[in-house]
Amino acid sequence: DLRLSPRPGLTAWLEQLLEDFEASSGLSVERVFRDVEQELSPEVQAQMVRIVQEALNNIRKHANAGHIAVHLRQWNGDLVLEVVDDGDGFALEDIPGGNKYGLRGMQERAELIGADFQVTSKVQQGTTVRLSLPLHSRETW
């Protein structure tokens, strides 16, 4: 459901998203939100939330994860958002071309807001989706 309405603050938006995900998937998500008091534009928040939505959708469909966590913190001048699971993991070269659209979409959304996007995964060791948004650029948002 990409129709979430803007809420005051990124953590509130994420909390709504995670509650909805837990209710619809039956999976629980650990939340680790630290030192986040940045005001971001609704557009930046929306792109970040949609990246998390896609990551959670991929976990639900493919990961067979027992543990999922969403981390949000400030670190070295960046706002860092991570979605971590302990699921099946994957090797990027093993993903059929048609199934890479979600990853490509997350990358494109990150580029739209000037964020660095990384996915790290190891077979049978889980996956981490990491978004780093430089806070110095937030004056332009």
Whole-prediction pTM: 0.87
pLDDT computed for residue 40 by the predictor: 87
pLDDT, tens only, 19-35: 999 999 999 999 999 86
What are the residues whose beta carbons fall under 8 Å from the beta carbon of 77, sequence distance 6 or more? Answer: 134, 135, 136
Structure-token pair, residue 75: 């670190």
Mean pLDDT, rounded, for 73-92: 93
Closest CA to 40 of 18, 11, 64: 11
CA dihedral 96, 88, 12, 130 (to 10 degrees): -70
Q: What is the mean pLDDT of residues 83-94?
A: 88
DSSP character at residue 5: P
